[in-house]
Structure 1
C-alpha cells in the first residue's frame, strides 16, 4: 500500500480536524493510518522546520534554552516535567539528562526525525523514532529564554525536510515463561543494583511480566487495580516523595518529589502539580504489581502497571539516590497494598 501523498494527508487531516476538533495529533495519526512524524513533516494543522544533525548534537545543546516543559509518553501514560536541561551527557548511544528537575535516560539508537513545531501559537521541539512515533517533546514556556530558543532553531534548521520513511519495530525475542524459573529467582535474589534487572531479563530471554509471574510472590505479587490511586492518594496526604518513571522505546523520563493535586477525568487519573503532571489511563491497566529487588543499599520496592499486551506503562518508587536506603514509609505503603509478605 503506497504511503499517502503530502497533499492527500493534509486534506484528510483538515477534514478530520473540522469534524472532530478536539482530537490530538497522536489520535489523528491513528485515524488517518499515518504516523505522528508524517503529520508533522506534512504540516498537518501546524508548521514545522526539520532539524539537521544527529540526536546527540541536538540534545547536547538543549541547556541554553532555560526553563521549558519536557514531555515523554507511551500509549497510556503522559509524563510532563518543568525545568531546565542540565547535567547533559549525550556522546554515545545512551545519554542522560541529570538535573534537579528534568531527569532522562535517552536511547538514541531509535531516534531519527527532529522538528521545531508551531501549533496554535505554541512552540515545541519534537523528536521521533524510526517508526514515526514521538519519543520526546520540549515545549517553550513563558520562562524560556526566547532569543536562545530562536537561535537554537536557526542553528539546527535543515535546508529541506527529509522524507519520512517508516521502519517497522522489530520486537525483541523473549518468552513469557523463563526456561528455568529457579535459576531466574536465584539470579534475582543476587542482584546488587536495580539497573541490573534489565540485564537479567535479556540473559534469561524472558519478558518483564514473565519474570514477575515466575519469581515468587515475595519478590513480585499482583495487587488490586486501584492500588495506584491508593498509593498516590496516600503519598499526597503524607507529602511522601516518590519517583515516577514513564518510558517508550527511546526514553525514560523521571519525576522525583512529592505529589499534591490529584484529579480523575474519565479514564485518566492525573497528577496536576505546578512542575509535574502525570496523566494515566487506568482503564488500560491490565495488571498492577508490587515488586521487590535486593540492592547493595537494601531492598528496593516498586509499583509497576502493565497493559493487556504486557507493556510496562508506569513505575513508581520511593524517592532515593544510589547509596541511600529506601524510605521506610514507602515500603510500608506498598506492603499495605500487598496480600502476601515481601522478601526482606
Structure 2
C-alpha cells in the first residue's frame, strides 16, 4: 500500500475528475484515505455505529442510498424508515430504502461537504476497517439541512485527524466445499423451511455459498451460462416481472423490490436508470451464474446469483413474494428458461 500525506491526497483528488473509487485503485490507497484527507476541509469524522447513525439519517428525509461491491453499484432514492438495531445485524425496512447492516464492518464514517458548480454536495460515507466503502448516503435538494447540521454536531468524533491507519484488506474466500459432506448437504438443504437457515447450514458443514452450489446438484443448484445475466435484465424489462435484487458487501446489503423500467448497456456495463432506482453492473466481471432453489414454508425460493472469478458474490435476484405483488409462476418460468451452462467436451 502506497503512503501519501493528507495534503498530497487532497492535491491528487483536486487534479482528478474520475470516481474516488477509481482514483484509490490507481493510487493504491483505501478509498477512505481520500475522504479522511479532507477532514477539516469540509469533512467531519462521525460515529459509524448504525444505532447512532441511522436515526440521524432518517431525520434527513429523502436521500439517495448507495451500496456497492467492486462489480455492482445499487442506488435507491427514499427515506430511512423502520430501523431495527442489533449487535450482529441491523436493518431498515422500507419499500424503497431496504437495507441490512452488519455493524462490526462499519468502522469509519464521515459527513462530507463538497462545493461544486451546482452548489454543495452533502453525503454520509461509511467504510470498513480496510477503508473500503460499506454504504453511502447522498442528500438531495429536498433533504432537511437542519437535520444535517444536527447530524454533524451530534455524531462528530473527538478525533478529527486527517490520517487514519487502515487494516489490510481480507482476500475473498474462494469456493469452499467438502465433497464427503455432499449427501449431508443435500439432505439438510431439502429439509430447510426458510432461506435464512442456509447460512447456518454452511457453518455446520464448513462450506461457503459457492462451494455448496458446486456440489449440491439439481434441483438445488444448477449452473447457468454467463449470458444468462444480460438476458435476465432484458427479460425482466420486457416481461415486467417484479423481483427482489440484492447487492452488497461484507458490511451492507441493499435491496430493490419491484420491476425494472430501463436497461441501458454501455461497454461492459449493464445499467438500470429508473427514476428512483439505478444499478450499474460490470457484466464482464461475471464468471459463474447459478440458478438456486431453496425450500421454504411458502414454497420454493428461486434465485439467480452471479459470482466473479475470485468467488465473490456480485448479486442475487429473487422473485417478489406474492403477498408483495409478485408473480411466482412468471418468475419461475423466466428463471428456469435462462440459458444453462453447457460443458464443452475436451
TM-score by length of 2: 0.90
SS at match of 1:292: strand
Moved over 6 A (4+): 321-326
Over the residues paired in the alignment, what is the CA RMSD in angstroms? 2.4
In 2 relative to 1, CA 172–206 (structure 1 residues): closer, same or farther, beyond 3 Å?
farther
* Match of residue 248 from structure 2: 247
Mapping 1:189-208, distance limit 5 Å: 189-208=190-209
In 2 relative to 1, CA 339–131 (structure 1 residues): closer, same or farther, beyond 3 Å?
closer
In 2 relative to 1, CA 218–139 (structure 1 residues): closer, same or farther, beyond 3 Å?
same
Question: d(CA) in 2 for partners of 1:177 and 1:223?
Answer: 19
- Contact 1:297–1:323 (Cα < 8 Å) also in 2: no
Question: d(CA) in 1 for partners of 2:264 and 2:307?
Answer: 21
SS at match of 2:35: helix
Question: d(CA) in 1 for partners of 2:155 and 2:25?
Answer: 29
2:329 aligned with 1:334, yes or no? Answer: no
Mapping 1:60-71, distance limit 5 Å: 60-71=55-66
Question: d(CA) in 1 for partners of 2:9 and 2:326?
Answer: 53
* Match of residue 164 from structure 2: 164
2:149 aligned with 1:150, yes or no? Answer: yes
2:68 aligned with 1:87, yes or no? Answer: no
* Match of residue 136 from structure 1: 135
Consecutive unaligned residues in structure 1, runs of 5 or more: none
- Contact 1:67–1:143 (Cα < 8 Å) also in 2: yes
SS at match of 1:298: coil
Moved more, 252-261 or 92-101: 92-101
**What's the CA shift for 1:289?**
1.1
Question: d(CA) in 2 for partners of 1:324 and 1:100?
Answer: 12
- Contact 1:12–1:32 (Cα < 8 Å) also in 2: no
Question: d(CA) in 2 for partners of 1:220 and 1:326?
Answer: 22
Moved more, 157-166 or 88-97: 157-166
Mapping 1:260-279, distance limit 5 Å: 260-279=261-280
1:81-127 deviation digits (Å, cap 9, x = unpaired) = 01000010124231010012100110001111110112333110001
* Match of residue 111 from structure 1: 106
Moved more, 301-310 or 174-183: 174-183
Question: d(CA) in 2 for partners of 1:40 and 1:175?
Answer: 33
- Contact 1:300–1:326 (Cα < 8 Å) also in 2: no
- Contact 1:50–1:114 (Cα < 8 Å) also in 2: yes
Question: d(CA) in 2 for partners of 1:130 and 1:305?
Answer: 26
* Match of residue 27 from structure 1: 22
Consecutive unaligned residues in structure 2, runs of 5 or more: 342-346
**What's the CA shift for 1:160?**
4.0
Question: d(CA) in 2 for partners of 1:31 and 1:174?
Answer: 25
Mapping 1:212-227, distance limit 5 Å: 212-227=213-228
- Contact 1:268–1:282 (Cα < 8 Å) also in 2: yes
- Equivalent residue in structure 1 for 2:91, among 93, 96, 113: 96
TM-score by length of 1: 0.90
1:300-327 deviation digits (Å, cap 9, x = unpaired) = 1000010000110001011117899971
Aligned residue-pair number: 334
